[in-house]
Structure 1
């Protein structure tokens, strides 16, 4: 008695079935990846459009994901919409290499800070963007020291938590990303003294005129230099707006070696409600 043997056509049939199954799986995988990529593209384009200041869409609240340079055993990240109290005598976190601060994080006090800025227009570089409030993340390093890392809005312009609002007679600090998806301040380097900046805040339009622009080295510079750089985002007791971004644009993220700042002084304001400016 002989055992039945598989014929050549039978073996080919099994091979064809396996090939077809693998082919169908690859088609399904390709379709999934195509839908995912397409959905991501649509979401990015929507966020870019929503971040523009000339529409009524809700401003995207997404922050840039900064890759930490060391392991962080603890991380505190306040919600973007959370209104936190700030110190009575507020001390702005000092920008250091990698966007971190030097010294302890600020202490909370009784008076809450609420940003009133809704929009910024910079005609020179065709920027018309919504503005959202940004704070900082508290990071505990391996040696136990706590530092604060400024948040950066992914698509919109960020108003530094605790800096002044327009009309308060102090430094209004606004930061934007130079790259990434939003890259709202990609062309900030082209802003020159004499250019105008229009800030919309609490029903008023504030016209500022750029006084100076400068590049602040942050990589491999002494601590004293980084602290000196930080004065541009600290209170000034004079009405001004300071725009901050990383520089240069094509440097590998997030290790930009410098920051670019443009400082502008208030010329006048106008709006629907009477206000002294």
Structure 2
């Protein structure tokens, strides 16, 4: 068996190996030419003896510093942040919507700038149509000319009603009723605006503030039965299902009788507004007595 190398021999061999690796690295990096030789005066070390492979010894290898890559962390947006942004957007939208509605309302309330004149102030309606049904008068058998019957007004309100001014004539609108035709009783009469004493002298009156033909609501028409043409003289002869035609200009609306009743002059609830389009015809009753009212109701068909 050969002589095993000593510790000094191993250290010397390791130093030589390190020097060899270092020189190769310098040559590769251009720091030392290939012709370079060890510095003068330095003794050339003897060639180390061949050593058996030792698994515990590892030749020095070149080590390079790792290259570190730094990445900035991406900002994370939490759910709370998204929620705050969403709520802010909703609030801004609500505020803008409110401003839009206010501006729209303001524009709607402004008078038209197209030269339209100021609107006329509505004339107060006398209290008589509110307290008693229209069309009342003294019976023709009473002495003197036909006249309203003050006895129909509650006694404690007669002085107030007497002090009211004379109603101002009403100008009909484009959709106001202008004519009524009831084939079953031979009625074909004009319809005038208003149900005061002077209006009913001309024909059938359209009570102010009630519906127009074809509109939802209660259209109230009143007429005399025994004075000034007796336009509603035969109204009591109408039967359920009979037709009532009401015109607005050239357009006709067909109503069908669904109800007929006799009421007191103070039962003004028959003039109350309705959701459905109906017509209510009112006249004095009985004929030439006039202590009550005959009310006929028709529905639009």
Which structure shows the bigger proportion of residues in helix conformation? 2
With normalisation by structure 1, the TM-score equals 0.49
Bigger radius of gyration? 2
Higher-RCO chain (CA-CA 8 Å, sequence separation at least 6): 1
